[in-house]
Amino acid sequence: MELSIPIYCLLIVIMGALTFVLAKRRARAVAQGADRTILAQSFHSRPNFHGLFAGGLVMLLSFNAMLAGLKIGFPGFATIGLMIAFAALAFLYARTTVRADFKARIWVERFVKSLLLICSVIAVLTTVGIVLSLVFESLRFFKEVPVLDFLTGLQWSPQTALRADQAGQSGAFGAVPIFAGTFLIMLVAISLAAPVGLMIAIYLSEYATPRVRAWVKPAIEILAGVPTVVYGYFALLTVGPTIRNFAESLGASVPTQSAIAAGSVMGVMIIPFISSLSDDVINAVPQSLRDGSLALGATKSETVKKVVFGGALPGIIGAMLLAISRAVGETMIVVMAAGTAANLTANPFEAVTTVTVQIVTLLTGDSEFDTAKTLSAFALGLVLFIITLILNVIALMIVRRYRERYD
């Protein structure tokens, strides 16, 4: 008979709480002696900690008993029996530790610190997990498709045949058109966001009154808080058709899903990244430098262009790189507003596809894990991860290395 996990957990908690209370009482009793007024023995740790130590030990051992029982496959009652047995052992041992010279607090603190350590290590585990899973699946992919073909091939036709007697695509996995599409959209986005974001940051830190700043800054932050799927829908619903209608009125033919539609909406999305990061670095430039420049008769704009900008430049470049990294990794806007046509072009008015769109297209729908088609998504994911990693590291390095020391 299987009992559910919450019931086991409840049992563990109850036993732990009981032990805590009992141990604490005992510690207090032993410390106060028969008199209950004088400190008969001088305890290293307060009663609370003895309680925590005892309760924690009981919970830990009974938890392990539960895991052992589940793994071996004991029926419900046997597991509970095992848990209670271990709890009893822990209880008896803990009882012997309620004495003056037992450093209960130290043990409890060690345990807490080890928990915190584990929390931090999870970050490493996550990165390791990402790298391992991507690399592992990509290796399986590269067994079928050579790395060079993938990185330099010009044709992307991943929809291979499903059965032997079916004629599908030829299964070419040249990813260059996809990288080109990502690059193109990123270019459109940055050419929009960089000047706008930078100018906003400069204006807010140099020219704006505190009142203006108080209203405008949150408004810009709102842009950052809008979910990307909303941006994607906006591009699909409004921006794309507007661009198409505008182009039609000029006589050109532009599809609704184009690089410029997706790129411009993405640009709007990353404006707050650039503006708030740049704002921070611009503010970090000491006022004394500005004052010196103004004292020599420069206008504010000249001060900004010649003095402040130079000092803040590494930070601004770092902000740009981070924004580029964000643009490259963005998924929902491009899924909804760019197309799925792997088109190798430099024309932003055509439909292109990006790495993230291809990952989504390949993995939603037919979910089969030994075909080159689905594994190619992992290879793309690996490339994406590496590129964003490099951009982030470079951004950090630039900021660190070239940061001006002002004092």
**Rounded to the nearest 10 degrees, how much is the dihedral formed by the CA atoms of 276, 278, 284, 289?**
-140
- For other proteins, which is the closer residue by CB, 22 or 268? 268
Give the interface segment with other proteins, choosing from 12-20, 80-88, 89-97, 333-341 (CB under 8 A): 333-341
If one counts every other C-beta atom within 10 angstroms of the C-beta of residue 305, the result is 13
Q: Which of 42, 96, 209, 253 binds other proteins (CB under 8 A)?
A: 253
- For other proteins, which is the closer residue by CB, 185 or 330? 330
Ranges within 1-60 binding other proteins (CB under 8 A): none
Q: Is 105 in the site for other proteins (CB under 8 A)?
A: yes
The DSSP string of 160-208 is B-SSTT---B--EE--HHHHHHHHHHHHHHHHHHHHHHHHHHHIIIII-
Residue pair 380/178 in contact by the 8 Å Cβ criterion: yes
Q: Which of 114, 152, 288, 347 binds other proteins (CB under 8 A)?
A: 114
Pairing of strands 156-157, 172-173: antiparallel
Q: Which of 97, 191, 283, 331 binds other proteins (CB under 8 A)?
A: 331
- Single-letter code of the amino acid located at 276: S
Give the interface segment with other proteins, choosing from 181-189, 235-243, 277-285, 312-320 (CB under 8 A): 235-243
Q: Which of 74, 111, 309, 349 binds other proteins (CB under 8 A)?
A: 111
Q: Which two tokens stand for residue 392?
A: 């982030």
The 3-state secondary structure of 306-365, one letter per residue: HHHHHHHHHHHHHHHHHHHHHHHHCCHHHHHHCCCCCCCCCCCCCCCCCHHHHHHHHHCC
Q: Which of 115, 250, 401, 405 binds other proteins (CB under 8 A)?
A: 115
- For other proteins, which is the closer residue by CB, 41 or 157? 157
Cα 314 off chain centre by: 24
- Single-letter code of the amino acid located at 286: P
Residue 275 CB, nearest distance to other proteins (Å)? 8
Q: Which of 27, 281, 322, 398 binds other proteins (CB under 8 A)?
A: 322
Ranges within 170-209 binding other proteins (CB under 8 A): 170, 172, 195-197, 199-200, 202-204, 207
Q: Which of 75, 146, 241, 292 binds other proteins (CB under 8 A)?
A: 241
Q: Which of 41, 152, 157, 288 binds other proteins (CB under 8 A)?
A: 157
Residue 394 CB, nearest distance to other proteins (Å)? 12
Residue pair 267/372 in contact by the 8 Å Cβ criterion: no
If one counts every other C-beta atom within 10 angstroms of the C-beta of residue 98, the result is 24
Count interface residues toward other proteins (CB under 8 A): 125
Q: Which two tokens stand for residue 259?
A: 């690089």
- For other proteins, which is the closer residue by CB, 109 or 404? 109
Q: Which of 19, 62, 182, 256 binds other proteins (CB under 8 A)?
A: 256
Instruction: Determine the Cα–Cα distance for residues 150 and 238; give it in Å rounded to an integer.
Output: 36
- For other proteins, which is the closer residue by CB, 255 or 286? 255
Give the interface segment with other proteins, choosing from 18-26, 91-99, 114-122, 286-294 (CB under 8 A): 114-122
Q: At 348, give phi and psi (nearest 5°).
A: -70, -10
Collapse the DSSP code of 157 into the 3-class scheme (helix H, G, I; strand E, B; otherwise coil) and give the result.
strand
Q: Which of 210, 365, 405, 407 binds other proteins (CB under 8 A)?
A: 365
Q: Is 166 in the site for other proteins (CB under 8 A)?
A: yes
- For other proteins, which is the closer residue by CB, 29 or 341? 341
Ranges within 271-290 binding other proteins (CB under 8 A): 271, 275
- For other proteins, which is the closer residue by CB, 33 or 106? 106
Collapse the DSSP code of 158 into the 3-class scheme (helix H, G, I; strand E, B; otherwise coil) and give the result.
coil
Q: Is 93 in the site for other proteins (CB under 8 A)?
A: no
Give the interface segment with other proteins, choosing from 29-37, 286-294, 308-316, 318-326 (CB under 8 A): 318-326
Residue 88 host element (H or E): helix 76-96
CA distances from 8 to 14, 64, 85, 406 (A): 10, 11, 14, 60
- Single-letter code of the amino acid located at 67: L
Q: Is 70 in the site for other proteins (CB under 8 A)?
A: yes
Q: Which of 1, 34, 92, 119 binds other proteins (CB under 8 A)?
A: 119
Q: Is 390 in the site for other proteins (CB under 8 A)?
A: no
Instruction: Determine the Cα–Cα distance for residues 62 and 86; give it in Å rounded to an integer.
Output: 6
- For other proteins, which is the closer residue by CB, 169 or 288? 169
Residue pair 259/184 in contact by the 8 Å Cβ criterion: yes
